[in-house]
């Protein structure tokens, strides 16, 4: 039981850490685009995507365990981690649009 809780906590922390890193990278992409550095902006968006893949892998572990009958206790931390991930995904999507907008403005 303690091992399951440790694995669950690792997955939860994976969501929080990787979600936060993805959001930070996406924000750095916007900052780079604002300065006209579109190569850095693209690299930061790609970096954000990598963090989101890592977060998704943590989430998949949790979902797989649940589907296998290992029901985790839903805690505020778990709910927070899911919220953190969804916010990061939304922010990444929006950052991509903002980078594209800055790029279009720079080309005019």
CATH of the domain at 37: 1.20.58.80
**Spatial distance between the Cα atoms of 95 and 52, rounded to a whole number of angstroms:** 14
The count of domains in the chain is 1
pLDDT in tens, 8-31: 788 899 899 999 999 999 999 999
> Is 80 a residue of the active site?
yes
pTM, two decimals, is 0.87
The closest alpha carbon to 44, from 24, 21, 31, 25, belongs to 25
Annotated binding site for Mg(2+), which residues? 83
> 65: Cβ–Cβ under 8 A, 6 or more apart, which residues?
4, 7, 8, 72
pLDDT in tens, 31-44: 999 999 999 999 99
Annotated binding site, which residues? 83
**Spatial distance between the Cα atoms of 57 and 29, rounded to a whole number of angstroms:** 23
Owning domain of residue 80: 2-107
Q: Residue 91 is encoded by which pair of tokens?
A: 């922010």
Residue among 56, 71, 80, 84 flagged as catalytic? 80
* 3, 50 contact by CB (below 8 A): no
């Amino acid at each position: 039981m303690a091992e399951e809780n440790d694995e669950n906590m690792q997955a939860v922390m994976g969501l929080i850490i990787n979600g936060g890193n993805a959001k930070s990278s996406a924000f750095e992409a916007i900052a780079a685009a604002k300065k006209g550095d579109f190569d850095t902006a693209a690299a930061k968006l790609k970096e954000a995507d990598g963090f989101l893949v890592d977060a998704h892998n943590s989430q998949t572990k949790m979902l797989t365990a649940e589907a296998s009958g290992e029901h985790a206790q839903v805690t505020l931390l778990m709910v927070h981690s899911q919220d953190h991930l969804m916010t990061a995904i939304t922010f990444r999507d929006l950052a991509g649009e903002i980078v594209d907008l800055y790029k279009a403005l720079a080309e005019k």
